[in-house]
Amino acid sequence: MMKTSDKPSHAPLWLLIFLQAGISASSLVVEIVAGRMIAPYVGMSLYTWTSIIAVVLAGFSVGHWWGGRIAAAETGRALRITGWTMIAAACATAGATLVLRMASGPVIDTLLHPLAAITTLTTLAFFLPSLFAGVPAPVLTVAAMRGRDQSERALGAMFAAGAIGAIFGTLLAGFLFIPWIGSVATLLTISGIYLAAALICFWLGGVSRRGGAVLIAGLGLVFVIGAGAARLPSICDRESSYYCIRTVALSNDPQNPVNLMVIDHLAHGISAGNTPRIMYTEHGAMLDALPRMRMGRTDFTSFHIGGGSYTVPRAWADRGIGGITIAEIDPEVTATAIEHFWFKPETATVLHTDARMALRNNAQTYDVIVGDAFTDIAAPEHLVTQEFFQLVSDRLSPGGVFTMNVVDSVNRLDVLAAVLVTLRDVFPSVEVWTAASQPKPGERRIFVVLASAQDSPVSSIDAPTPDMTRFQPLAPAFIDSMINQKMAQILTDDHVPLSHLMGLDPVID
C-alpha cells in the first residue's frame, strides 16, 4: 500500500511509459538472440528453446520481486537504484558473449547430458541480463502511480507499455537486428539502450556529485566489457536469418581442397574441389548412390529437400544428370555452397523457400525426391508427417522413389520406427539402408530410407566415403519387430514429437 509520506513523482508519465516499453522491448530482443547464440554450441531444438524461455522467465521473476522491494523506497531513491540495475544489465548483456565463449567448452565437456549442458550454458549467459532487466517494471509502475489522480489508468498504461514493448522487441530481433547486424552487435546495441535507460533513471531520481563520479566509472566498465566482446572473432562465417554457418578446411593441400560445412553445431556436408563424385559421409554416399541405382539411368529429374553443402546435386550434375531442383530455405547457405563448396548454380534450379511449400504450390512431378533437411539432429517436424509424405507421393512420377536421411540412437530407434510406420501408411515399399557394419553401443546411426511402389533390385551397394563402403537394407522381419516393439504411432501434423522420440542420450561418435 502507498505510504502517505511518499513524495509524488514529478516524472512525466509519457517518459515513464517510454522507458517501460524500451526496456521491455530490449529484454525480449536478448531472449531471441539467446537462441541464436546458444545454437552453435548445443544446437537449436525444442529443448534449447524450452531452457532459454525458462531461464529468462526465472530472471524476470526474480528481477520483478527485487524491483517491488526497491519500489517501496522514496521515488527518487528507487529510480536511482534502478539506474544502477540498468548499469548492471548493460554489463551482463554485453558480457554474455564472453561468458558463452569461456564457459561453453568446460560445460559441454563436463556435462555429457545434453539437457544439463543446455540449461547450464543458458543460465550462465542469460540469467543475470534477464534479472537486472526485470527490476525496472515495478519501480517505474509505482513511480507512474504515485501522486497522480486516476492512478489506475497509469497502472494500465504501464502494463500495456510493457506488453507492446515485448511485441516490438520480438519483431525487431527477428526481422531487423539479427539479420542486419548479427547477434554480438545486437547485444551491444541493447547494452547501449540499457545505458540510456540508466541515465534517464538517474536524471529523474537526481544524482549527487559523488554518485555522478561512480556513474562515470560504471559507464566505463560497460564500455570495457563491450569492447572486449566486440573484438572477439565471430564464431560464424555467415550469420543469416536462420543459421550460423561456418566453413572448415579439412585439407592442407591447396591443390586438393576439401571443405566441411557446419550449420549451427552440426556438420551438414563435405565436398572436395577436384572430386565432386566422391562422398565423404555415409549419408551423402547413400543419398547419392541409392536413387541412381533405382533409376538405372541419368535422364531423371529430382527434387532435393535442403541444400546444405549441395554435395549430392553437385555430384549428379557432374555425372550429366539434369532436371535438378533444390529447395534451400536459407539463401546464405546457397551463397556459402557457391563460394566454398564449388556448387555451380546454373546446374540446378534453386528455390529459397520451405520445401513443403515448394511442393504444395507446384504440381510438377519428379522421378526422385531427396529428403536431407535437418535442424539440430532431426529433420524439421513438418517434413516427416503423414500429410507431407502423401504430398511427396503425389509429386512422384510413376516408378519414382523418395529417399530421406534419418539419424537415431541404436539404443532407442524410436524416431526410425515412427518415420517407417508413417511412410508405410503412404508407400507400398519402404526400405531402410545403412552401413553393413556392426553398430557400437549408444551410437547415433545413419539410416537412409527408400520409399516407392516396389522394392530395390539389389541387396547391397558399394560407394566411396571416400573409402569404399558397403551398404545394405535392414531385414524386413527386423523392421516389423522393431515397429511392434516400439508400438510406433503414425506422425501427423497434429502430433509429431520428434524431440521426445530422439531422447536425450549423450552422443557417441
Segment 384-394 mean pLDDT: 96
Q: Please name which of 302, 306, 267 lies closest in space to residue 446, comparing C-alpha atoms.
A: 267
Instruction: Please give the CATH topology (third level) of the domain spanning 273-502.
Output: Rossmann fold (3.40.50)
Give CA–CA dist 24/83, Å, rounded: 15
pLDDT in tens, 66-112: 999 999 999 999 999 999 999 999 999 999 999 998 998 899 888 87
Which 3-state string (H, E, C) describes 36-63?
A: HHHHHHHCCCHHHHHHHHHHHHHHHHHH
At 8 the pLDDT is 42
Question: Residue ranges per domain, the chain?
Answer: 13-235, 273-502
CA distance 133 to 60: 7
Give dist(CA 93, CA 184) in Å, integer. 10
Section 500-507 average pLDDT? 60
Residue 65 has pLDDT above 50, yes or no: yes
Q: List the beta bridge partners of residue 366.
A: 396
Q: Which percentage of the chain shows pLDDT scores above 70? A: 95
Q: Which of 459, 265, 301, 225 is nearest to 377 (CA)?
A: 265
Contact 432, 449 (CB under 8 A): yes
| Residue 505 pLDDT greater than 70, yes or no | no
Rounded Cα–Cα distance for residues 143 and 11 (Å): 8
Q: How far is CA 34 from the centre of its chain?
A: 10
Q: What is the pLDDT of residues 400-412, one digit of tens each?
A: 999 999 988 888 8
Top-tier CATH class for 13-235: mainly alpha
Q: Is the pLDDT of residue 11 over 80?
A: no
State if pTM tops 0.95: no
Alpha helix (H) ranges present in 248-349? 282-295, 311-318, 331-340
User: What is the per-residue pLDDT across 326-359, written as a single tens digit (0 to 9) for each?
Assistant: 999 999 999 999 999 999 999 999 999 999 999 9
Collect all residues with Cβ–Cβ distance below 8 Å to 308 and sequence separation of at least 6: 261, 263, 268, 269, 328, 333, 337, 372
Decide which of 190 and 241 is more confident.
190
Bridge partners for 8 per DSSP: none
Q: Compute the mean pLDDT over every residue in the chain, rounded to the nearest whole number.
A: 89
User: Computed from CA positions of residues 150, 154, 159, 165, in that sequence, does the dihedral angle turn out positive or negative?
Assistant: positive
The single-letter code of the amino acid at 305 is I
